[in-house]
Amino acid sequence: MASGSGSNFEALVEACRAGRPQAEVVVLVVNNPGCGAAQRADRLGVPWQLLDHRVHSDRAALDRALVTVFHERGVDLVVMAGWMRIVTPVLIGAFPDRLVNIHPSLLPSFRGVDAVGQALAAGVTLAGCTAHLVSEEVDAGRILVQAAVPVLAGDDRSSLAARIQRQEHRILPLAVQLAADRLAPQG
Ligand code: GAR
């Protein structure tokens, strides 16, 4: 699931193709027509679908449409790779412990929107990113992997976000592997 440029989506596809994690990205869903993520999917040869939140009556209706797509495609695990919509129990309940989000802060600091701007405003010297399981409380589910990123003198939103994203591309595939391992039958 992606809303924007799709750099995390692409990093995950490349990681899967390299065998770490041992997974296949079977479908991308985007909510913004013409977003970068859909263009990357075309280039990478990954099927994608548009579910535009503007044509759904509410958040739950959008999530019902998402669940339908994922069930049709036989999806085991769902990744919110820059999905800028709040999700509901409809999606969370359909993929318990199988819904991973990437967030550009060291949670539990700076939940919600504009986490990078929040970090800059707070004057922290260490920022970062978190891959976590999704729960009903926003940006509060079980943490899977984090990476710390220094805030440098003169950083603005864009320079810090770019440095954080390089780490996101590294930890998101690790988190997907961890989430899959947690689900795998033991023994
Ligand atoms: C990523 O930095 C991700 O952490 C953030 O959106 C960006 C998407 O970039 N997600 C959130 O802020 C979710 N609350 P991308 O489209 O290039 O992967």
| 1 domain-assigned | no
103 assigned to active site: yes
**What integer pLDDT is reported at residue 106 of this predicted model?**
98
Give pTM, 2 decimals. 0.97
Query: Which pLDDT score is estimated for 183?
Result: 86
The residue among 131, 182, 154 whose CA lies nearest residue 12 is 131
Asked if residue 155 belongs to a domain, the reply is yes
Instruction: Tell me the per-residue pLDDT of 81-128, one tens digit each, with 9 for 90 and over.
Output: 999 999 999 999 999 999 999 999 999 999 999 999 999 999 999 999
The arithmetic mean of pLDDT across residues 171-177, rounded, is 98
Count of domains for the chain? 1
Structure tokens at 41: 């999917």
Residue 162 domain-assigned (yes or no): yes
**Range(s) of the domain holding residue 154:** 7-183
Residue whose structure tokens are 């924007």: 4
7 in ligand 1 pocket by Cβ < 6 Å?
Answer: yes
Is 118 within a domain? yes
Quote the CA–CA distance of 4 and 13 in Å, as a whole number.
Answer: 16
* pLDDT tens digits for range 17-59: 999 999 999 999 999 999 999 999 999 999 999 999 999 999 9
**DSSP label of 101:** E
Distance of CA 185 from the midpoint of ligand 1 (Å):
31
Name the closest-CA residue to atom 8, ligand 1. 82
Question: Would you say residue 12 lies in a domain?
Answer: yes
Average pLDDT over residues 54-76: 98
Residue 2, domain member (yes or no) = no
Q: Is residue 152 part of a domain?
A: yes
Quote the DSSP letter at residue 65: H
Question: Is residue 186 scored above 70 in pLDDT?
Answer: no
Domain with residue 169: its CATH number is 3.40.50.170
Among 168, 142, 187, which residue's Cα sits nearest to residue 12?
168
For ligand 1, mutation pick of 102, 118, 144 (most atoms within 8 Å of CB): 102
> Is residue 177 assigned to a domain?
yes
Q: Which of 53, 56, 71, 103 is catalytic?
A: 103
Residues 6+ apart with CB under 8 A from 159: 152
